[in-house]
Structure 1
């Protein structure tokens, strides 16, 4: 006696097939942490040693400034996997399936263009003209050494580490373009872009601004 085959459950389409690759700005994170440390140091000092309205003004300023500094320095990130590109900007989170990405462009800023024509800036991948010039100088020196014979390839010569061919931001954009080209036709990578406002950042900032305005108006 044979038992009937049980239907195989359909795969859960909500689970990504691959883990996210995360791209962030180390310089932005370091700068943000330093700014937050200064804000907290000054604010806590005013709360502890201030008199009259000073502690309340310091509290309102901290509630206003802290989420904004966090939003524009520590928060930005870009997440990419086989299905979609997720951009966490200071005040918005944009999710674009690869099928909805028309291009990824680099100029004075890095941005992604949806098939609808809408542009979204990648805050976590800033353009560094200084880094581009540094890589260009390194490539020029390497080419000059190669044309002049240099020491590379001589017996007993020490190995020279390979120089980067792109600035960090440009390399990230190159990697994202490759992901887009590979997965743009995949069935799981189709859909419309979605945009969500970062109320978790905006709400405390607005509360701090309102409190500060009330304290200033009351005098």
Structure 2
């Protein structure tokens, strides 16, 4: 694990790659533990990392890092209540403009990419970037592909993409650099719902190829 400070009042703990569900469960447990500690203003779980904002500047960086290490040593894993969510996806063509080029980059056919992407059961590690944007762990290493060097100015809401070793879904139309391989009609974020986010950390997700796409 790496322990460091960002600025004067922010602590960060992060695991070195590759990402791990067991580490993420301990991150969730640590977040639940330290949010009640005196002096802690906010905790922000990420992908195998946790950011802790303090109310005041600590006496020294060394003492703050020592406290962070002690919290981690005492942290217990937390497994949140999980739901299994199936999300229909239209793969390829206008819905997935990067499917064919991604397939070429990873040495597969577009159909093989769809089969590999929809075969996995993914875990939501955290929600970030946009309201309701799920960062999903579990992508097959055979599909790993870098982001675009130049992001698109507009990626439609519902776009399913790949970036590095992660896959995710854009809840809102926005600029973005992920490789877009499909699109879902499901609303990932709806402020009119009692629970605005469709997904939450700990949920598992499966993508179901829609008959109108490239199957």
Fold match by TM threshold 0.5 = no
TM-score between the two structures when normalised by the length of structure 2: 0.24
- The structure carrying a bigger strand percent of its residues is 2
Structure number with higher relative contact order (C-alpha < 8 Å, ≥ 6 residues apart): 1
- The structure carrying a bigger helix percent of its residues is 1
TM-score between the two structures when normalised by the length of structure 1: 0.24
